[in-house]
Structures are given as structure tokens and as C-alpha cells.
Amino acid sequence: MDNLENDINAVIKSWDLDEEQEKKEIVRHYRALLRSLKTKLKKGDKELLRAAFEMAANAHKTMRRKSGEPYILHPIAVAMICVEEIGLGVRSTICALLHDTVEDTDITLEDIKNEFGNEIAKIVDGLTKISTVMTTNSSQQAENFKKILLTLTDDPRVILIKLADRLHNMRTMDSMKQEKQLKIASETIWVYSPLAHRMGLYNIKTELEDLSMKYLEPDKYKEIARKLAETKRERTKYINEFIRPLKDKLAQTNYSTEIYGRPKSIHSIWNKIKKKGVSFEEVYDLFAIRVIIDVPLEIEKEACWKVYSLITDEYLPSPERLRDWLSNPKSNGYEALHTTVMGPQGKWVEVQIRTKRMNEIAEKGLAAHFKYKEGTSSEDRFDKWFVQIREALGNQQEDGVDFLQDFKTSFLAEEIYVYTPKGEVKMLPTNSSALDFAFYIHTAIGSKCIGAKVNHKLVPIGHSLRSGDQIEIITSNKQKPSEDWLNLVVTAKAKNSIKDALREEKKSIAEEGKYTLQRKLESIGAAYNPYNIDQLVVYYKLPSQLDLHYNIAIKKNDLKDLKLFQVIGDKIEAPKPIQTSNENESAVYDPTQKTYSKKDSELIIFGESSDKIQYSLGKCCNPIPGDDVFGFVSTGKGLIIHRTNCPNATQLLANYGHRVVKTKWAKNKEISFLTGLRIVGLDDVGVVNKITNIISGELKINIAALTIESKEGLFQGTIKVYVHDKDELEILVDKIKSLNGIQRVDRFDTESV
């Protein structure tokens, strides 16, 4: 290793490094990378790695990360994640070391091709394209994303390395500005985390979700992390109590087994709290027990079911919580048995049973899947997925954000398995309808679908399917797709097929409009030419000539306005638009409908003159002073202020980062803002009076509306109040929570108050 250290020192001796410590750190990280690759190195690999390190090191030598550390530590860290956490080899390590060189330095793709060959150059090119996906406008974003997916189906290592890059960036994001943190965290939760899940990288998916939550919902993240730390000793004690009798039973099987408990992720706990409407203390499955069996491939299923039998002999299972991914593995290769059993002290516990091979696929995903590909029944599942992606990419009409949304719902969602009438199993995304299934079978069947029989019962085309359903599609030659079908499907194939059919129908109808327009133009002495058509498209604010012709055909635009146009020669000139508003006027959203001047407003908008900016508060999240917020420039609605944990925030920040304006509240107590609280508690005499006394009497807060419903000894109330800021709201929540019998007090999140 001495020669290696001399070589590295030779590379970095000319760098502008602050101290000897930084040189030692680079050497230490590179040594660790080589050690992790030791079992995978073949003849000549060490020289290739050294050449890649040298190229990357020299290219990045003057660069530092936001944290101040030498930039070269980032590509080394990404390479380390590729090897240790994803299970990739030497070629991928070289690509990881070089992944930022073409985008950020003077190194060209040709340089990499000459030094390392076509294969590595192609992967680095794919990685370079990905980096521009989320930083451009939506139409360009779609094209870039399609290129990435084509690269994915051609060489999945591009996505795997990119996921390693994103994971390291998320781990080291503390030194970035908040708006950058929000944007990157939103992209991660919107695209990269589901992609990691779909590639079978559960550990990486979980960590990406947790790290995103750390920046998007810091208060909730810290609260759950603190509670997990506080209950760690209690959980460990319970896990040991649960495992003790199982160890004796497993010892009788003669299988080599490993059994342990692991905590659920912070993000999954938070999701459960939100979905089930419970507190942290009421989430029963804060951890899962995992049983790993080391047995030969041919007896894997038998061994897993035997272990399941032993566990359910000891602890009673919940029948509806059995998940059998042995018989039907997920399309990302995941295989396991999951069951939930009643453990000691009346607590439900999730148990996951896997073999060593299944566990490696669950941890390392796609890379491990290909390692074990030979001889397994799931060898073509990824290939089928790639074929479906290629089919979806054939449609070039999609808008950028629509394409991303369709990709998420079609290819990144959880799956269900359903059966054809002949018993063939088909995998579809969760929430798929009978119509999705029809298009999945064949476009012609989908287009003629009028209904279906699910488990021999007649259902409409929009019927939502569940795992295990058997479906028979009913068709009619008179049927054809309509616009409302788009609301009944989730798969990209179905949506694209419906849009194609509607487009053809639209073209057919538009021909009549084209003929009508031609006659109208000729009647006023103007020509039917591209210039005049474009004038009308702009005037009617339509997206295309096709829409103009179609609207004329269906009499949506009746062309009466043509008399307002000026005819010069054979050309028409559109009339000048009328000014309807004064640009310098300012308007502030106020729930009480009173008008305030800008100097009374609560928002400071950075980088702009706040006296000239019009804005409104998002009705999807109703921000109040003190909330973490961002401004979003909306087409037609101006600047809208959203909370950073708004239900729509991740999509807006991930897809339209270029429209986000840095925003914060200034301190002002003159205006009240409407917000809502949902209260659940025991139906005690005088409970309403106690709540209103706190709000109106003690805190002098105005109540806009109050609704209380009682049922079987419990009450649920919704209260709408005017508060000055988040601090005042938090004081109110704490005081209501302190009342006897109050179980929960939650702020409205997803509905307009």
C-alpha cells in the first residue's frame, strides 16, 4: 500500500489544501474504497481505478463543497455507497469517481471514452444528463427524464449510481441554504425515494425518506427521533422477551437462523400517525422482527413456511396481515413472508421471514437480483418492467410534469397481483381499475371495454382492483374512449392509449372547424395561411392550431370577434388587449375580506420590491405567520404562499423549482389569519364550554366557526379561529390539550378552512 500512498500524494501534492490533515483524509477514504473492492478486483482493475481517481482528483482539485471539504471526497463517498450499500463492482466504481467530471470540470466525454472505453463513457453520459433533470423547465425536464429512463432500461447502473450520489448529497446537506434544502428534499421524496424502492433498495429508500423529512418537516422529525431514543431501552427489553421462546423453537429446525428486531423508520412512523390519526404512543408496530434463514435455494419456500408455522404456534397471527411474497415476488425482486402476531403484553408485532439470498436482494436490490438471477422464477421481472417503460416512452406528447406523475403512478407505486380468466397472474400498480387491466392486456381491448366481471361479479370499468382478483373484460365494438376515462386509470399505458384515441377523434372533428375558418377568413378578404391562424391561436389563448380548429367545430369559439381584427392585404392583425389592472397596485389576501395596505402585510419577499408584489395564501394549507413558507409563482394567479409541509409542496418544489421565491414572515400583530383545529376527546358535560372559555375568555381569540359531533361517548369537533401567528396557535393547542378527556388536537392540513 506504500506505493499507493506515494501515488496519491503525487496527485494531491500540488493542490491548495489547507493542512496535512486533509491529504491524510483523502488517502484514508481512498484506501477504504480499495479495501471494500478487494474481493472484486481482477487483473488490471487496480490500475484502472487509480487512473479514474487521478482523473477525478485533478479535475476537482480547486473545488470545495459547501461544507468547505475538498470536493474529491464526494465522488469517493458515492463510489463507497455503490460498493458497500448497493453491491456494485469495479466498472460502477470508476463511473462513480468520474460522475461529476463532465458536468463540472473541463473533462469531456471524449476524454473518458479514450481513457476507459465506451461502456464507462456511456454511463457517465447518462449520469450527466440526470443532473439536469430537475433544474430546467417542465418540457425540457420531460425530455431529460425520458433519456434517463432509456438509459435505465439499457444499463440500470446509471440509476443505481445516481441514487448513491443523491444519498450522499442528502447525508451532507446541512451546510446548504434552506431553500436549496427544501428543493432537493422535495425532489428526493417525489422521484428518487420511490425509484430506490422500485429498484429494491429498501435501506436506501428508507434513509432518503427520513433525510427528506428532516428538512421538510424538521419539528416532527426531531420529535419522533427524540421519542424513539427515549423508548429504545423499553423496546429492546420487549424485543428480547419476544425473541426468547422463538430461539428455542428455531434451534430445533437444524437451519442456520438469525433473528433480531429493527426499528421502523421515522418517516414510516410519521405516515402511520397521519393515516391512522393516532399519537406516537399509539403506533403499535414501532419495530419489526426479522428472521433470516440460511438454506439451499431448492428448499427456501418450505423452510420459510416451516419457520412461519413455528412462530404462529407461539404467537397468534392476524389472518388479514399475512403477506406472501414467496409465491408472488414483487416485480423489484422482493421475496419474503410477512405476518403480524399478538406478542407479550397484548402488543401486535410484525415478523418478516426471509432466506439469506432473499435478504441480500431486499438490501441490495437490482445488483443482488442479477447476481442470483440464474435458476430463480423471478429472473424476468425487471426485464418486463423495462419493456413496459420503453413502451411508455414511445409517447412523445406528454407534458413534463404529467409524464413524471404518470411515471410515478405506473412504475414507482406498490403493486397488486391479479388473474386473467385463464389463471395467468398479472402485476399492476395499486389503485388500478378494471379499465387499466383491459389496456394492460391489449390497447384494442381497453378501447372497446364497457365493463368487467371481477370474481364473476359484474362491475363498471372504473372498479378499483385488489390483489387476488380474477378479471374478465367485457367489450363492445360500439364503445370508444372518452375524456372522463382519464380519471378512471392510473397506468401510463392506459393514459397514453386514451390520449392517443382522443387526439385522433379531435383531429377528425377539427377538420370541420378548419373548413369553417377557411370560409370565414375568405369572406373578410383574408387568406387561410399559417400567419393568420397563429394570430387567432394567440388571440383566443389556445395551445395549438388543432385546438383552434376543434373549438370552432364544436362552436366554443364562434369567430364573431373576427370583425374586431384589422385586415391588411391578406393578413389579419389582432386588436390590442385592454389594460384591466394597474401593475403598481398591491393586494394582500386577508380572511376577513378587509383591505390592507402593503405596509400592514406580514410577508417579506426576498429579492423583490415588496411594495409591488401581489400574493395570496394557499388555500390547500392556509399558512399563518411563523410557519415555514415559500412563495410559488403560479400561472394566472400570481404569487401564492404555501407552507413547506403543504400537501402540494413536494410536487411544486420538485417539479417547478425555478418558480419558487424565498419568503419569510415579518413580525406584525395587526392582522389575524383563519386556521382550523380538529379536536377528539371524551364526551364530558361542559366540554364545549371549557374549550370556548379558553379560546374566547382566556386567550381572547375570535372564533369563526365551531362544530361538535358526539357518538358513543366520544366527541369530534372542528373549530375555525383567527390567530395572529403560529406561537399563538401553539399556546391555544397546548391549553386545550391540558383539559381532562382531550385525546387529540390537530391543525387542519389538507383541506381549506
Show the domains of the chain with their CATH numbers. 2-216 (1.10.3210.10), 224-371 (3.30.460.10), 500-573 (no CATH), 598-665 (no CATH), 673-747 (3.30.70.260)
pLDDT recorded at residue 134: 47
Which entry of 103, 512, 684, 746 is annotated as an active-site residue?
103
Rounded CA separation 413/427 (Å): 11
> Whole-prediction pTM value?
0.68
pLDDT digits (tens, 9 = 90+) for 741-751: 888 888 875 45
Average pLDDT, the chain: 80
pLDDT digits (tens, 9 = 90+) for 608-624: 444 456 778 888 888 88
Mean pLDDT for 383-402 is: 58
Residue 592 scores a pLDDT above 50: no
Residue 580 scores a pLDDT above 50: no
Locate cell 364497457: which residue?
A: 450
Which entry of 22, 45, 104, 415 is annotated as an active-site residue?
104
Residue 599 scores a pLDDT above 60: no
Mean pLDDT for 29-42 is: 88
pLDDT digits (tens, 9 = 90+) for 305-343: 999 999 999 999 988 888 898 988 877 778 899 999 999
Rounded CA separation 340/329 (Å): 19
| Sheet strand arrangement including 323-324 | 256-263, 287-294, 348-355, 337-342, 323-324
Mean pLDDT for 471-491 is: 90
pLDDT recorded at residue 594: 33
- Rounded to whole angstroms, what are the CA distances from 39 to 31, 34, 75, 223, 369? 14, 10, 21, 42, 19
Contact in structure between 409 and 429 (CB atoms under 8 Å):
yes
Mean pLDDT for 64-93 is: 89
pLDDT recorded at residue 568: 82
pLDDT recorded at residue 303: 93
The set of residues, in sequence order, having a beta carbon less than 8 Å from that of 647 and lying 6+ positions away, is 620, 621, 749, 750
pLDDT recorded at residue 595: 34
The Cβ-side half-sphere exposure at 187, using a 13 Å CA radius, reads 23
pLDDT digits (tens, 9 = 90+) for 396-429: 455 545 555 666 555 666 777 888 998 887 888 8
Looking at the chain, the whole-number percentage of residues with pLDDT higher than 70 is: 81
- Rounded to whole angstroms, what are the CA distances from 470 to 419, 423, 451, 664, 704? 4, 8, 14, 54, 51
Looking at the chain, the whole-number percentage of residues with pLDDT higher than 90 is: 20
Residue 480: closest CA among 500, 460, 507, 466: 500
**380 tagged catalytic:** no
Residue 511 scores a pLDDT above 80: yes
pLDDT recorded at residue 137: 44
Name the band, by pLDDT with cuts 50, 70 and 90, for residue 183.
confident
Contact in structure between 103 and 129 (CB atoms under 8 Å):
no
Higher pLDDT, 615 or 219: 219
pLDDT recorded at residue 253: 85
Residue 571 scores a pLDDT above 50: yes
Rounded CA separation 82/123 (Å): 14
Lowest mean pLDDT among 129-138, 308-317, 550-559: 129-138
Residue 132 scores a pLDDT above 60: no
**436 tagged catalytic:** no
pLDDT digits (tens, 9 = 90+) for 348-366: 899 999 999 888 888 777 6
Q: Residue by residue, what is the 3-state secondary structure of 306-352?
A: HHHHHHHHHCCECHHHCEECCCCCCCCCCCCEEEEEECHHHCEEEEE
Residue 585 scores a pLDDT above 60: no
Name the band, by pLDDT with cuts 50, 70 and 90, for residue 136.
very low
